[in-house]
Amino acid sequence: MVRFQPVRRFVCTLVNQRTTRCFSATSHRYAGEVRIIEVGPRDGLQNEKTSIPLETKLELIRRLAQTGLRDIEAGSFVAPKWVPQMANSADVLNHLLGHPPYAPYPITYNYLVPNVKGLQKLLRTADDVKPGTAPDLSQPTDDPDTLPTPPPSPKEQEEAEPAPITSTEDPNEMPSDTSGVSDPVRPASSSAAGNQTEVSLFTAATEAFSKANTNCSIAESLMRCKEIVALAKSREIRVRGYVSVALGCPYEGPNVAPSRVAEVTASLLEMGVDEVSVADTTGMGTAPRTRELLKTLSAAGIASQDLALHFHDTYGQALVNVVVGLEHGIRAFDSSVGGLGGCPYSKGATGNVATEDLVYCLHSLGATTGVDVEKMAEIGSWISTELGRENDSRAGKAMLARLHT
């Protein structure tokens, strides 16, 4: 990826012919490309209360693939008892490998894996797929052997005990056989020869959140991450890491030590993670604390090109924090169409920053993303209607109102 540095213009004003005062111009110009990582199909959908048909997930990904996005989170290989909405991620992987949707550019499809057993399940699923042989799960079928696993009913979800969003309490639910693991995961269709499959893993910046979310300490979670990285690299699979609650924890408060975030981030990079997404999981981040965190990461020797930022918009600060990230050389941001998502451990937390809002903001600053923001606005409206929820993208709703008048 081409790396760009921010270009800042300054306006100097002569005051009383004696002193010169410099002001940062209100219209910054950010040269070059910014990469958008669309997390809606995974991070955005996993906390929805009503069951989501597999066909809806596949249609969401199909539509997103046509917008110019190059990175889409498609699912997660976690224990279904903890994250029912992701129970059919193997079906999603099967479909994307066997019947990749049309896209103007090659796409990297990402899957969250909580531990090495989750990665092993993903690898076995991918190894079983041959070009054109996987059932087209976007089409109805009467063959019971090819029917997708039905999602749980709303009643089943309501009766289930609240659980961590990515818990690994029962790793035995993820098979451990590694036989046949040899070749890199590759797309099955020649029409999507450039597509890639990558995985992401996660840890946290506070002990309290790590215990609640993964039932282990930060040190233990890093050991799990190390196992995942080792197996992924043996298959030449790119690995993305998440550091949760980097700018605020629902248990320990908003003042998470930037040095702790830097320490955890450095640990992930040292073990071979290709990119670390530093996540404001609760949306508590503010511009001054985001700036302090990024300065600390830089002082620790962590390069901006090795980082992405992941903001939630609970307090309406996500885009402000994005601009701070741009000023510090960050060129990769996570977002979710329609603002889908949320955090079950932070009361009142809203979803990820809406992709439509993020792209509109970036384009207004002179950056390029390759993403068609009007198509994205249409998708945000569609998926919000499908889920029976409010569309949380302000830019998306405004664009649609203008387009349909």
H or E, element range at 210: helix 207-214
Please enumerate in sequence order all residues whose Cβ is within 8 A of that of 161, keeping only pairs 6 or more positions apart, or say none. none
From 152, 58, 62, select the one nearest 101 (Cα to Cα). 62
What whole-number distance in Å separates Cα of residue 79 and Cα of residue 189? Answer: 29
Helix (H) or strand (E) holding 57: helix 54-65
End-to-end CA distance of the chain: 39
Q: Which of 225, 249, 343, 361 is catalytic?
A: 343
Closest CA to 380 of 64, 55, 54: 64
Closest listed residue to residue 301, CA positions, set 322, 255, 334, 270: 270
Residue type (1 letter), 150: P
- Which residue(s) pair with 13 in the sheet? 21
Active site residue 225: no
Residue 236: Cβ-neighbour burial (10 angstroms; 0-12, 13-18, 19+): exposed
Q: From CA 321, how far away is CA 331, in angstroms rounded?
A: 13
The answer to whether 57 and 24 have CB atoms below 8 angstroms apart is: no
**Positions marked active-site:** 343
